[in-house]
Amino acid sequence: MAAQIGFIGLGIMGRGMATNLINAGYEVTVYNRTRAKAEELQTMGARVADSPADAAAHGDIVFTMLADPPAVKQVILGHQGVIEGLKSGAILIDCSTVDPETTASVRKAVEAKKARFLDAPVAGSKDAAAKGELILMVGGEPETLEEAKPVLDVISKKIIHAGPSGSGTMLKLCFNLVVSHMMAALSESLVLGTKAGLSPQTIIDTLMTGVIGSRFYEWKGSCVLDRDFTTNFSLKLMHKDLSLISSAGYSLGTALPVTAAVKELYAVAKGLSNPDEDFCSVIKALEQVAQVEVKRS
């Protein structure tokens, strides 16, 4: 409980995670590029750092929650970055979703500082982050995970040890692959059926009846029918993840023909509508093409 925590990256997810750590009684030093977001947490008791290095220097455990590989490279490996401040023996936990190469280069830099590293991307929405109910997919040494566990328990309801360093990143990509496909499948099904005159609610109800039923279809289906595209996870970030998955497939010699099509569908949607809306707005591209709107009748 004596641990000091550095937390870098206060976006949709990071903000909820850092708040929970503060509320759990940890001394948390936060950093965010847009300083205003860090200062909001100051009122809750956080210390605001001037740089990623500064935040890292104040942590026995340091979290990073960043947008993409370039951000990770700059904020962790760059000038005044995390590595510069990281204490020997500290644990860096990167919760960002990145590619295996980026994870490997961070690990290498961490080890050069005689610190330890966990890649720990998360599954779960903004709500789950706020409630401390994320799912963590962790790659790294079991001992390191064991040591970090009390802190990780504050932000998560389930911790999956995926394997050695890099496995968390890879597992997250495998997970988001399926999420992106399910939203694409739901979208194509809803647009096709609605265009044919079916009630979209009936389609969703039918998907829920059988062995394929998933709360995801009810949740995202309702968002679509209510035309509520408030961002839990943006179109832009899902497209980014699909690009990472595609690259991983190339590196590993795995053909991913459906993922390739899903990725391009998100690319089309990003170009035709708002990239910052929730990824369920991918349906808008298909609606625009088919000249139909899927909504509650």
Site for a copy of itself in 4-43 (CB under 8 A): none
Span interacting with a copy of itself, options 13-21, 59-67, 75-83, 242-250, rule CB under 8 A: 242-250
Q: Which of residues 197-236 bind a copy of itself (CB under 8 A)?
A: 197-199, 202-203, 205-207, 209-217, 219
**From 37, 172, 236, 240, active-site residue:** 172
Instruction: Respond yes or no: is residue 263 known to be catalytic.
Output: no
SS3 213: coil
What is 248-273 written as a DSSP string?
HHHHHT---HHHHHHHHHHHHHHHHS
SS3 42: helix
One-letter identity of residue 294: V
Kindly compute the dihedral angle of the four CA atoms of residues 243, 245, 247, 250, in this order, to the nearest 10 degrees.
-140
10 neighbors 18 (Cβ within 8 angstroms): yes
Least distance from C-beta 268 to a copy of itself, angstroms?
Answer: 5
Q: Tell me the sheet residues that pair with 234.
A: 278
**Given candidates 106, 270, 277, 294, which one binds a copy of itself under the rule CB under 8 A?**
270
Is residue 195 a contact point for a copy of itself (CB under 8 A)?
Answer: yes
Least distance from C-beta 139 to a copy of itself, angstroms?
Answer: 10
Two tokens, residue 82 = 């995390």
SS3 157: strand
Q: Which of residues 87-116 bind a copy of itself (CB under 8 A)?
A: 100
Span interacting with a copy of itself, options 30-38, 105-113, 141-149, 173-181, rule CB under 8 A: 173-181
**Given candidates 42, 258, 295, 296, which one binds a copy of itself under the rule CB under 8 A?**
258
| Closest CB to a copy of itself among residues 34, 210 | 210
| Closest CB to a copy of itself among residues 46, 134 | 134
Q: Tell me the sheet residues that pair with 6.
A: 29, 62
Span interacting with a copy of itself, options 17-25, 40-48, 75-83, 154-162, rule CB under 8 A: 154-162
| Closest CB to a copy of itself among residues 3, 159 | 159
Q: What is the DSSP letter of 217?
A: H
97 neighbors 241 (Cβ within 8 angstroms): yes
Least distance from C-beta 61 to a copy of itself, angstroms?
Answer: 23
102 neighbors 72 (Cβ within 8 angstroms): yes
Q: Which residues are catalytic?
A: 172
